[in-house]
Amino acid sequence: MSTEDATLQYLTFALGDEVFAMDIRTVREIIQHAAMTVVPLMPKFVRGVINLRGAVVPVIDLQSRFGRSTTLVGKKTCIVIFDASSEGEKMELGLMVDAVSEVIEIEPAQIEPPPQFGTSIQREFIRGMGKVDGEFIVILEPERALNVDDMALLAEKSAVV
């Protein structure tokens, strides 16, 4: 069995009433939402930075990154720390989500390509649609949805006013 045919594990999480997933292999840890330092002149989807064992980790509000309103912090709000890359260098990023659900396994045969239209987020942000128990779960393509270089360009554009 090749690695492409292997069943993969995904971390599922909620944004509003939608369920999203990302490959568990990129996830470092999940932490409770805590106070963060706001960084001036950042796009509104960059909520700030946190100190994670001495490292500065930017926190991205995923709702806002998808062009929606900013996340309202609640009891279940979490930050998913995951590995991102920028110009070939690995770095940690935090994703603010409404709630983390569970780790699930999805076989490649259960994953459909992203729809051509009708999604509430940009198509290139979606790796596929996982079919689990008759429901669809949006599987994110973090290399595109959370591309550090693209987000840096947006930050520069929002700073030039």
pLDDT tens per residue across span 8-45: 999 999 998 889 999 999 899 999 998 899 988 888 88
Cα 135 from Cα 76, distance rounded (Å): 23
* Residue among 54, 29, 64 nearest 145 (CA): 64
Place of tokens 């002149």: 41
Cα 80 from Cα 28, distance rounded (Å): 8
Q: How confident is the model at residue 157 (pLDDT cuts 50, 70, 90)?
A: low
pLDDT at position 94, please? 93
Biggest CA-to-CA distance, the chain: 54
Residues 81, 52: contact at Cβ < 8 Å?
Answer: yes
pLDDT at position 1, please? 42
Q: Which pair of tokens denotes residue 13? A: 């999480």
Q: Which is the CATH superfamily of the domain at 3-159?
A: CheA-289, Domain 4 (2.40.50.180)
Q: Rounded to two decimals, what is the model's pTM?
A: 0.81
CA angle 86, 69, 122 (to 5 degrees): 50
Cα 51 from Cα 49, distance rounded (Å): 7
Residues 96-110, mean pLDDT to the nearest whole number: 94
pLDDT tens string 104-119: 999 999 999 887 765 5
Cα 36 from Cα 43, distance rounded (Å): 15
